[in-house]
Structure 1
Amino acid sequence: MNREVVVTGFAVRTGFGEGAEATRHGVFGGRSALAPVTRFDTAPFRASVAATDGTPGPGSLRDALSKCAGDAVAAAGHPAGEDTAVLVGTAGDFTGVTGFWRRAEHTSGSTAGDTVAARQADLVAEHVGARGPRLAFTNACVASAVAIIHACRLIATGRLDSAVCAGGYLVEEENFAKFDSGMAFSRDGVVRPFSAGRSGLLLGDGAAAIVLEAGDTARRRGARPLAAVIGWGMAADAHHVARPHPQARGLASAAGQALRRAGDPDGRWVDYVNAHGTATKTNDPAETAGLRTVFGSRADAVPVSSTKGATGHLLEAAGAVEFVITMMAMLDGVLPPTAGYTAPDPDCDLDVVPNQPRRADVWRALTVNAAFGGANTALLLERR
């Protein structure tokens, strides 16, 4: 079988706040949510900035995922039930784990079981009433994109009619310390994807949920699809534990799979690419090379932007949040800019939509993500 896979509902949260309007104001306005971190002491670290929502604590990952999932299901008008799967990209809730290390900060009612990644899928499913399969994906910055891809496969092949896909990460001290010790953070508190002078990434709060359905069943119940997922791909280049392949072979392979599945191997009908764009020295030139491999002579004509200059890097949530941002670009007819861009880099010579949103008629859009270990994903959306 090769059934159509459509999106019928979504919800999103970033450092700009909850909901599509907050995302429009921040991400599509070319703004940055990056600000001094107040939810833990950054004195031991080189960096002190992240894209948080300003709350004194990160709150519960469970609550963030469940809220987004509930809002997405409500927007879809499709009560989750016996045959609805839940697929979540997450590393679990580190705040619960670190609470055991620092007993003074440990909150009563928090249990070790509720902090592990697999439990997040159960908690989301219980919240929305979904009783189908439950899966959690933990492969770093492609985790929630892989969740979406796996759901698309299950729906397209007739094994599911509907799925709730979600991804979440809230800035906390554990991962902040790891990235800081690895010297991955921007030195001056600004994220500059694809720009000369970029010096690294910064983290951000993020959560998103998407309701996917088979096109025939969605229309039979009277739902109006927002978009269709017409292509997807995954690939591993296994070049290095942390650095991407210099020519982004895995990313190019994943994108090529997505385009071939859609019957557009040269990408001639793609109007926009939401790039991974981490603003590191190695990622952005590699990604540029990979996208040039994908689009060939059309590469100069395809707008490509990274939204991490606005939202920060959302780790396991990146795939789901950036999927939503890509879909919003299609629905609104506006390209989200690459916030933080300051000057051209000859190694990143794409049309990166610098700093200002751009009106555009987007029929098809590609969103790509990459992760440590050489994991790469691509998802191709088409407006409905």
Structure 2
Amino acid sequence: MTEEVVVTGFGVHTAFGRGAQAVRDGVFAGVPAFAAATRFDPTPYRTPMTAAAPGEPVLREVLHDCAHDAVTMAGLNRGAQAAVLVGSAGDWTAVTRFWREREETGLADSVPAHLAQGLADRLGLHGRRLAFTNACVASASALIHGWRLVSSGWAPAAVCAGAYLVEEENHAKFDSGRALAKDGAVRPFSAGRSGLLLGDGVAVLVLESARTARERGARVLARFTGWGIASDAYHVAKPHPEGRGMAAAARQALNRAGLSTVDYVNAHGTGTPLNDSAETNGLRSVLGPSTVVSSTKGTTGHMLEASGAVEFVISLLALLDGVVPPTANYFAPDPACDLDYVTEGPRKADLRQVLSLNAAFGGMNTAIVLEHA
């Protein structure tokens, strides 16, 4: 028997700060979080802009804080049986130092596998501990695998996380690849869009079977009803121009959920010329030309491995609040991007189903369906 999978808790940290209200005040208000980098000297780079919270937070500590918020909301106690799955490349600064200095640094808990191990130990949870490092679909992959563990009965619950904080190494790589927005603004689906910018993102979700949640008396926030994974197999960095991999993942997710349409799509929407037109083509082929779509990366920036988990939280809040978050920084229509991108600001709507999409270099694509509880 397949178990129904539900969401019972979450914690989130973005450039706007910690918690759901910070997301509402920033993402749902359409307020971009971009400013000149302060964690490193940005002067050698084409653009100095990132979306980062103040100070120099430590990745594992921010992850633990969000996990505490999630398990507290879910009422998941120490000693519980729960898998712990983390999508992250780790703390880049600490990991680089770790491999140079090895165990003498004491920074092993910043390596991806150790983030999952350390998180499970700190929460006092018993079960599988897994790390996912497949780039910008890493935390979406963690969520999907968590669904599989719970739905199959292999785990009564799964704590699924994504974590990335802005640092210089990735900023330098994207800058040298000419992928960062030249004008310091991420403009998803807009004419004149010129690239992405990096942003802080950490999110933790508690998934469990609906039966277990009922037995515990836990509040069910939403139902996690569908998912899809597909590959373009087209190019090492470019998406297929027709968005075939994204379309395939979306179709899988809809089929699994028993749906033919959804009320809102939280798109990958990086603000790069190739991604946004390809994603538009893929969505049009699956859902038609009247699809309501927005990208929240115009406010948060691209959170790399954490994107799937943070945007899962954003999709969850859209369902709970009945509000579609806007696509910020939209400048002018692009004939290659012709869907309804919610450019006028937050939009009230009776949302019953939301589709969240993510993609990564190498042609990887994921899709997740959330439905109202």
TM-score normalised by length of structure 2: 0.97
Query: How many Å separate the matches in 1 of 2:81 and 2:143?
Result: 17
Q: What residue number does 1:360 align with? A: 349
Shift of 1:295: 0.9
Q: What residue number does 2:9 align with? A: 9
Among candidates 276, 280, 287, match of residue 295 of structure 1: 287
Q: Which moved more, 1:249-258 or 1:114-123?
A: 114-123
Secondary structure of the residue aligned to 1:189 is coil
Tell me whether 1:67 sits opposite 2:59 in the alignment: no
Secondary structure of the residue aligned to 2:330 is coil
Q: What residue number does 2:368 align with? A: 379
Does the 8 Å contact 2:213/2:220 carry over to 1? yes
Shift of 1:324: 0.3
Shift of 1:137: 0.2
For 1:73-112, list aligned pairs within 5 A. 73-99=71-97, 110-112=105-107
Shift of 1:114: 2.3
Shift of 1:78: 1.6
Does the 8 Å contact 1:271/1:364 carry over to 2? yes
Query: How many Å separate the matches in 2 of 1:281 and 1:352?
Result: 16
Shift of 1:10: 0.5
Q: Which amino acid letter does the alignment assign opposite residue 87 of structure 2?
A: G
Query: How many Å separate the matches in 2 of 1:98 and 1:220?
Result: 45
Tell me whether 1:127 sits opposite 2:150 in the alignment: no
Aligned residue pairs, count: 373
Does the 8 Å contact 1:9/1:211 carry over to 2? yes
Q: What residue number does 2:26 align with? A: 26
Q: Which moved more, 1:81-90 or 1:111-120?
A: 111-120
Secondary structure of the residue aligned to 1:208 is strand
Q: CA RMSD in A?
A: 1.7
Deviations 1:82-134 (A, max 9, x none): 5210000000111213446999xxxx984342231111101111121112100
Compared CA separation, residues 191 and 355, structure 1 to 2 (3 A): farther
Shift of 1:54: 2.1
Does the 8 Å contact 1:70/1:127 carry over to 2? no
Query: How many Å separate the matches in 1 of 2:118 and 2:282?
Result: 38
Deviations 1:251-278 (A, max 9, x none): 11111011101112x32xx100000000
Tell me whether 1:272 sits opposite 2:236 in the alignment: no
Secondary structure of the residue aligned to 2:198 is coil
Does the 8 Å contact 1:73/1:80 carry over to 2? no
Among candidates 238, 245, 261, match of residue 256 of structure 2: 261
Q: What residue number does 1:345 align with? A: 334
User: 5+ unaligned residues in a row in structure 1: which ranges?
Assistant: none
For 1:320-339, list aligned pairs within 5 A. 320-339=309-328
Does the 8 Å contact 1:164/1:212 carry over to 2? yes
Shift of 1:61: 1.0
Shift of 1:139: 0.4
Does the 8 Å contact 2:9/2:221 carry over to 1? yes
Q: Which amino acid letter does the alignment assign opposite residue 234 of structure 2?
A: H
Does the 8 Å contact 1:98/1:174 carry over to 2? no
Q: Which amino acid letter does the alignment assign opposite residue 74 of structure 1?
A: T
Q: What residue number does 1:140 align with? A: 135
Does the 8 Å contact 2:95/2:108 carry over to 1? no
Query: How many Å separate the matches in 2 of 1:214 and 1:282?
Result: 39
Does the 8 Å contact 1:125/1:131 carry over to 2? yes
Shift of 1:183: 0.6
Among candidates 273, 278, 283, match of residue 281 of structure 1: 273
Query: How many Å separate the matches in 2 of 1:368 and 1:360?
Result: 20
Runs of 4+ more than 6 Å apart: 100-103
Secondary structure of the residue aligned to 2:331 is coil
Compared CA separation, residues 101 and 42, structure 1 to 2 (3 A): farther
Shift of 1:233: 0.7
Q: Which amino acid letter does the alignment assign opposite residue 83 of structure 2?
A: A
Does the 8 Å contact 1:96/1:111 carry over to 2? no
For 1:187-336, list aligned pairs within 5 A. 187-264=182-259, 266-267=260-261, 270-296=262-288, 299-300=289-290, 302-336=291-325
User: 5+ unaligned residues in a row in structure 2: which ranges?
Assistant: none
Deviations 1:274-332 (A, max 9, x none): 00000001000000000011113xx31x2100000000000000000000000100000
Identical-pair percentage? 61
For 1:149-168, list aligned pairs within 5 A. 149-168=144-163
Query: How many Å separate the matches in 2 of 1:191 and 1:234?
Result: 26
TM-score normalised by length of structure 1: 0.94
Q: What residue number does 1:169 align with? A: 164
Query: How many Å separate the matches in 2 of 1:138 and 1:208?
Result: 15
